[in-house]
Amino acid sequence: MRILKNLDIEESIASKKLIFEESWWDKFDTFTNYFMFVILMVPAIFGLGDIKPSANSEFEYLFYICPFIFGLYAFYCKFTEKNLKEIKFTIHKEDAKQRILEYGKKYDYRISKISNNLIFLNEPTSGYSLGNYEKTIMIFFKDESILYTLIKESARLNVPVLFSQHIVRIDLKKILKKTNKQTINTNKRSGFSSFFLKD
């Protein structure tokens, strides 16, 4: 699990942003990610400017636009990685905690850092990485809502979570809206969504 030194839970909830003591490596990692995504976008920008109208120009536009959009999206994901997204609910706070814990157990997350207002759900980032690296769903609890974000760790660069954050948001909304008589039945591991959960 990625270490966030001296994470301030109350201040993070109040500001809707992760508040922790950033090391020089955290800052270098963030800068390197930004640099990497900018490097991906710059050639695409110049390439788009050099395109001349022809029979193949549509393909050329596509060739340059795709890496530009991907780089821009990845840059945005890294930039907003510390921001906490909010999901409101109408059930009791303790019921919400219990449902999220059941969700974590059902899908074999390693549940850690359980406190009054914070739960971490950890899962391996990839079966091909060296070392035990994880993606973490950080869930903060308020009285009538949760605040959450997804962060990753890796051997060299802590790249942002790109696609599975959207699947997780759908899952969390579903389980927090269900009545007590209904069971948690999200389908996170199957079909199309399982492809994105490995990012």
* Band (77; pLDDT cuts 50, 70, 90): very high
30 and 127 in a single domain? The answer is no
Using a pLDDT cut of 90, give the percent of the chain over it: 57
Reported pTM: 0.81
pLDDT of residue 143: 87
88 and 168 in a single domain? The answer is yes
pLDDT digits (tens, 9 = 90+) for 126-157: 655 556 788 999 999 998 999 999 999 887 88
Domain count, the chain: 2
Q: Determine the Cα–Cα distance for residues 92 and 135; give it in Å rounded to an integer.
A: 28
The answer to whether position 14 is within a domain reads no
93 and 191 in a single domain? The answer is yes
pLDDT of residue 154: 84
Average pLDDT over residues 167-180: 85
Among candidate residues 57, 79, 101, the one where a domain is terminated:
79
Query: What CATH number does residue 110 fall under?
Result: 3.30.310
Nearest to 197 by CA among 113, 98, 100, 107: 107
Residue 181 clears pLDDT 60, i.e. is over it = no
For the stretch 17-24, contacts whose Cβ atoms lie closer than 8 Å and that sit 24 or more positions apart, written own/partner, are 17/82, 17/83, 17/84, 18/82, 18/84, 18/138, 18/149
98 and 124 in a single domain? The answer is yes
Structural domain that includes position 70: 24-79
67 and 93 in a single domain? The answer is no
Q: Determine the Cα–Cα distance for residues 136 and 19; give it in Å rounded to an integer.
A: 16
- Cα dihedral 71, 72, 75, 81 sign: negative
The answer to whether position 175 is within a domain reads yes
pLDDT digits (tens, 9 = 90+) for 103-118: 999 999 999 887 888 9
133 and 91 in a single domain? The answer is yes
Strand order of the β-sheet with 85-88 is 85-88, 145-152, 134-141, 118-124, 110-112
